[in-house]
Amino acid sequence: MPVKTYDMPLISSGLRQEEFIRQMVDSLEYLEAVSSDIFNLISISVSEQKDKLIDINNRINTAEAKVEKLKTSSSRGTVVYSVPKYPAPPVLEDQRPIFSKVEDGICKVRRSKGEIVSKLEPANDHHIKESTAYYILPADVWPSESELMEGGFKHKFKKNKNLEDNEGLGSLPRYLPSVSSLMLFNTSENPYLNYIIM
């Protein structure tokens, strides 16, 4: 039986304050719904197991009462015939995991809809340096301390010899963690498609 999972969203970095607050509130509301659903499923499972234990205890009490009746009823020997079958239904019910009952509506976060009034801040050197601090780069590409102190980031990538002949920067580097890394900060331009040499 397939088990449904919860999909807890992450809040993106570099958002406007209004977008960030909305995504944070959506994520917290979803976390509240998920936690209440988890505790609800656990309490349902506990109540089902309690019912099974009560049924087993009733069967034990019935068997003990029959044994006591046999002990006290007569002083002569008693022959007890046992049914040669296991005391269970012919077809056993499959074991179901607790989280197989997760509703489809709670598997995904619901985003609040509405117009965002605030505008993006214009890009400047401080924002660009701040945003590049979050990208994961290989150790051989990371700038040295002297490069960081000078304020320049000299790329150690191999440049394409035919860069002037072809439009764009060429093939994508392997270290890119996501598609959003292709975009220039705060714009919709993609330097890998259209790159202008000054």
pLDDT digits (tens, 9 = 90+) for 66-97: 888 888 877 777 777 777 777 778 888 787 77
Does residue 6 lie within any of the structural domains?
no
Residues 60, 129: one domain?
Answer: no
Does residue 9 lie within any of the structural domains?
no
Domain count, the chain: 2
Chain-centroid distance, C-alpha 131: 25
Q: If residue 37 lies in a helix (H) or strand (E), which one and from where to where?
A: helix 17-73
Does residue 28 lie within any of the structural domains?
yes
Residues 64, 132: one domain?
Answer: no
Tens digits of per-residue pLDDT, 115-154? 777 676 666 677 666 666 655 556 566 666 566 555 554 4
Residues 177, 131: one domain?
Answer: yes
Residues 45, 99: one domain?
Answer: yes
Residues 27, 87: one domain?
Answer: yes
Measure the CA–CA gap between 6 and 27, rounded to whole angstroms: 12
Of 106, 135, 164, which residue sits at a domain end? 106
Does residue 112 lie within any of the structural domains?
no
Residue 114, CA atoms < 13 Å, CB-side half-sphere = 12
Measure the CA–CA gap between 18 and 13, rounded to whole angstroms: 13
Q: Tokens 């919860």 label which residue?
A: 6
Q: What pLDDT is attached to residue 159? A: 45
Task: Assess contact for 153 and 147: CB atoms under 8 A.
Answer: yes
Residues 31, 76: one domain?
Answer: yes
Residues 99, 132: one domain?
Answer: no
Of 106, 136, 170, which residue sits at a domain end? 106
Does residue 139 lie within any of the structural domains?
yes
Of 101 and 2, the one with more pLDDT: 101
Does residue 186 lie within any of the structural domains?
yes
Residues 26, 73: one domain?
Answer: yes
Average pLDDT rounded to a whole number, residues 155-172: 50
Does residue 3 lie within any of the structural domains?
no
Q: What pLDDT is attached to residue 163? A: 42
Of 80, 106, 132, which residue sits at a domain end? 106
Domain range spanning residue 90? Answer: 17-106
Task: Assess contact for 192 and 176: CB atoms under 8 A.
Answer: no
Measure the CA–CA gap between 7 and 164, rounded to whole angstroms: 46
Residues 143, 100: one domain?
Answer: no
Does residue 83 lie within any of the structural domains?
yes
Measure the CA–CA gap between 11 and 33, rounded to whole angstroms: 17
Tens digits of per-residue pLDDT, 164-198? 455 555 566 666 666 666 665 566 666 666 656 65
Average pLDDT rounded to a whole number, residues 2-19: 75
At 104, the amino acid letter reads D
